[in-house]
Amino acid sequence: MTPEQLLKLKEEALAELGQAGTPERLEQFRVKYLGRKGALHQITQALPSLALEDRRPIGRLANELKQLLAQAVERRSAELDQARQAAPSAIDLSLPGIAQPTGHLHVLTQVIEEIGEIFLSLGYRIVEGPELETDWYNFEALNIPKDHPSRDTFSTFYVDDQYLLRSQTSTVQIRVMEEARPPLAIIAPGKVFRPDAVDANHAFMFHQIEGLYVDRNVTFAQLKGTLALFCRRFFGPETKTRFRPHYFPFTEPSAEVDLQCTRCGGQGCRVCSQKGWLEILGAGLVHPNVFRAVKIDPRRWSGFAFGMGVERIAMLRYGINDIRHFFTNDLRFLHQF
Amino acid sequence: MRYPLSWLKEYVDIRLSPEALAERLTMAGFEVTRLEREGSEVVFEVEVTPNRADVLSMIGLAREIAAITQAKLKLPRFTSHDSRVTKRAPQGITPLRVTIKDRRGCRRYIGRVFASVHVGPSPQWMADRLALAGVRSINNVVDVTNYVLLEMGQPLHAFDADRLDGDQIIVRRARQGETLMTIDGAPRALSPEILVIADRQAPCALAGIMGGQASEVSPTTTRVILESAAFDPAIVRRGSRAVGLASESSYRFERGVDVDGVAVASNRAAGLFIEVCGAQEIGVPRDVGQRSAARSAISVDASLVSHRLGVPMTVAEVARRLAQVGCRVRRAGKRITVRPPQHRRDLHGPEDLIEDIARLMGYRLIPETVPAIAVPAVALPSAAAGDRARQTVRQLRLALTGLGFDEVITYALGDPELHQWFGSSKTTVRLRNPLSSEFSLLRQSLVPGLLRAVQHNLNWRAQTVRLFELGAVYQQEELRPVERPRLGLAMSGLRHAHWQSPHPPIDFFDLKGALEALFTRFGIAEYEFRQAPSPFLEPGMQVDIRLQGVPAGTCGQLAHQFDVRQPVFVAEVDVAVLVDQAKPLPAFQDLVRFPPILRDLAVAIKQDVPAGAVISLIQGLGDRRIHEVKLFDYYTGAQIPAGHKGFAYTIEFRDPNRTLTDEEVNTVMDQIRALLTARLAAQLR
């Protein structure tokens, strides 16, 4: 190695350094010249083979070159860093992103799941019952004998003399109580059918959720507390509810639960038909005749039951104006939830 | 029912404003749905529940108002007739005879005759009150019967006495073949389940429902027979259903009327006939049947009331509340014996008394507590199986939305024309009382509903439609109709369209892919798609699905006969089979530590050879080092010989115990190539 050769090496190296435009190329350069097996290392290794009088000057030159190159590499590295950050972004951010869109669960499914969660947390189990039912489960066991005027309220689709499409999920109360002895706490969501002409607020098929709790000393106060808690959890902590006496053949005392109309704060408006309140639940203490029908002793056990219309609740919560949207399944509707 | 406030005020002191009274009534169980003001008049529209028919009258509601507001009740006294006093009918006039043939159908019947009746317009005060209550004024005689109906809740009927054959009233069941023209002008065919009022010859009225046209009171009527009766609720209801007729009368009879009230109302009407129609009573009222209904006492424990309501109540409070609604109460320590008033036919047992106590107290005053529910987990055996199915369905929903499908809920009822393609008519469950033919049967398949949903969205220019539904289908089986849960899928339009790539249309393989993804997701290792005929799928794409050999559903492209202008792909899977086959717990397989070797293979095979044949052959070698054969390209074109198609595969070789060598892999690849050439006449590329 002569000084001239070292000089040539230096020129080559610097030229090459100037060409190193990316961090990868720079690293390649560093390894080539400054690495463990790099050019300068080889020169240093070869020093002992030089003539004694040449060793020191060459060694010194080599060292100088090494430092020069090391500093140059650092500077170049910094330059590249800066350049990268300062460079205008090559990506056009105004282009839309590309994703595989996920589908939507039907809003009624979402509501049913959310209501289910609330009651699961209170200790209820979720059960289901058949849509095709018999008169016994839909009426007689629920204290609605044949020829009872209440049958008008629960008008029903019949298949034949024996079978019908259930008009309420209360049928599941009977099935559960026939299957197991108290204590019991269940909720049962499902489809029900009524021969109502279809309009903005009625459909011949809709969904209900039924609840039943039977134990030693179940009270009306517990019914109130449970439903008030449900309303606050589902509609919001500020929700106001009221319990109003009503009549169902299968509960006594019976009640309807109203929500204060959020639109008018209870003053009365079109949404609540000027009443100031919106009815959302029917409930009551299980009628002793129902217990007798399933051979549970009403003197030893008491219980409460409640039922709610899912479509109605969904319409109130989301401000949906027409029940038919749920079953037309327009994507512009489904994608809103 | 409509209640004019001014009319109510005749029977009870009302100090509250109409709004305040409406609020009190609503919170006591009589929801005031409307409060109308007509000039100075206020009318309440009240929803009366079926158990409180005693309130379906001015006096009835007045009683409730008195109880709720602790106001004074001002009930008028109408002279009760005394049937012991015999008054001879005038000379030459046969006295009225009343015979009750069906004692179950009619518990009491009072018939009275009036002569010198001047049929004409009613006095203004009566017409006004009727109008406010929503009843049209007809003539003074009919109006009196309607007036007393509204005032007391007892339905009455007036016959033109001269149109009845013989002065004879017979309460009996109709005979098959008899007919009656009712006052609405419609002829009614009668049958033995219908109770009628008949004269010597024929039925004259449908008891409790509607009168006959022939004996209707008209401007020429001069003699009237007044009927006041207690007909059996169930029999009136059955008659009403049988002829398809309902009326204010039948409505009240179905809910039950007071046997005692029959006489009171009769007297009231008699007085009004005399006052308003100038009539004179002829003879003595004929009062046949039961005079009064026995009411048994109800025994209740004050502590039961406290327990049920969750509010401590003293015996004194309980007794006081019950007295408020007119019960006679006798106390013996904690026990209370209660005799409900005659009009409270809804009070049968302690639970009914408890409700009355609660509503008089005001539900508002009952506190809210939340019970701590402790139910043993084993309580419901069916729920456990249900839980597993529910969990699987839940995961199914998540998997489907993850695959980009939107959930729909379609009507479970359908029309015969569309549904004929989706199941045999022998297994169709039909409704006996549908609302329309459009929704007259229960679906045997989810596909028609999905089709409608797809059509609707395509009509609204949706580019990509991917739908799923989880719901029941229904089939008539030998013994009974049966429902089964199904999963339905429908796809149409473009694959997810975006600006970076072209927009290919959705095809059958998108559907197949979604199904395969679902099956894999649930650990179902073996599934098969096989062509099988189907009436609603397009030939060439009619596919039967089996999971581990078990028939599980169908899929394919919807046939041309359905009105869709672009391809629609549908699938339907039996959820029970899916749930049954799904593996609840995956079994962990340790990760292979040795790197795999990948080799590509391109072949051209004859057009009629299924693509799967290549993979089957390769896997058929049984070489455990061949881990996976994956198709990654399919092409036709210039490089492929005529009558052939080209496929390219990546074959992954690995061994869990060592690193494979290139040499051994090469050997296997040679074997594969030789096999494909020999067995499929494949041309390698």
- Concatenating the DSSP letter of every residue in B25-74 gives HHTTT-EEEEEEEETTEEEEEEE--TT-GGGSSHHHHHHHHHHHHTPPB-
Residue B549, CA atoms < 13 Å, CB-side half-sphere:
0
Q: Rounded to a whole number, what is the distance in angstroms from the first to the last CA of chain A?
A: 78
Q: In what order do the strands lie in the sheet with B97-100?
A: B97-100, B168-173, B195-198, B203-206, B210-211
Cα nearest neighbour of B450 on chain A: A329
Cα nearest neighbour of B22 on chain A: A275
CB contact A88 to B (< 8 Å): no
Give dist(CA B561, CA B542) in Å, integer. 15
CB-closest option in B386, B412, B496 to A100? B496
DSSP A142: G
Residue range A125-129: average pLDDT? 94
H/E stretch holding B684: strand B683-684
The minimum CA-CA distance between A228 and chain B, rounded to whole Å, is 8
Nearest to A47 by CA among A93, A99, A6, A96: A6
Give dist(CA B304, CA B307) in Å, integer. 5
Question: Mutation test of the interface with chain B: which of A172, A224, A272, A310, choosing the one with the most B Cβ atoms within 10 A?
Answer: A224
Query: What pLDDT sits at residue B564?
Result: 85
Query: What pLDDT sits at residue B378?
Result: 62
CB contact B246 to A (< 8 Å): no
Residues of B in Cβ contact (< 8 Å) with A132: 429, 474, 480-483
B320-379 residues touching A, CB cutoff 8 A: 349, 351-352, 354-355, 358-359, 363-364, 366-376, 379
Give the whole-number percent of chain B exceeding pLDDT 90. 78
pLDDT one-digit tens code per residue, B534-590: 999 999 999 999 999 999 999 999 998 898 889 999 999 999 999 999 887 788 888
Residue range B637-644: average pLDDT? 83
DSSP B342: T
Residues of B in Cβ contact (< 8 Å) with A333: none
CB-closest option in A131, A285, A326 to B472? A131
Higher-pLDDT residue of A291, A15: A291
H/E stretch holding A275: none
Residues of B in Cβ contact (< 8 Å) with A163: 480-481
Q: In what order do the strands lie in the sheet with A132-134?
A: A132-134, A163-165, A157-158
Query: What pLDDT sits at residue B379?
Result: 66
Query: What pLDDT sits at residue B79?
Result: 61
CB–CB contact A246 B33 (8 Å):
no
Give dist(CA B379, CA A286) in Å, integer. 19
Cα separation values, A192 from A208, A328, B114, Å: 7, 18, 54
pLDDT tops 80 at residue B12: yes
CB contact A89 to B (< 8 Å): no
pLDDT tops 90 at residue B503: no
Give dist(CA B351, CA A289) in Å, integer. 10
Query: What pLDDT sits at residue A288?
Result: 97
Give dist(CA B128, CA B134) in Å, integer. 10
CB contact B496 to A (< 8 Å): yes
Name the least confident of B391-400, B561-570, B586-595: B586-595
CB–CB contact B429 A159 (8 Å):
yes
pLDDT one-digit tens code per residue, B309-342: 999 999 999 999 999 999 999 998 888 999 999 8
CB contact B477 to A (< 8 Å): no
Chain-centre distance for alpha carbon A319: 20
CB contact A124 to B (< 8 Å): yes
DSSP B104: T
Question: Cβ distance A91 to A151 under 8 Å?
Answer: no
Q: Where are the beta strands (DSSP E) in chain A?
A: 125-126, 132-134, 157-158, 163-165, 184-193, 205-215, 241-248, 251-260, 277-286, 302-309
The minimum CA-CA distance between A27 and chain B, rounded to whole Å, is 29
pTM of the full structure:
0.86
Residues of B in Cβ contact (< 8 Å) with A224: 363, 366-369
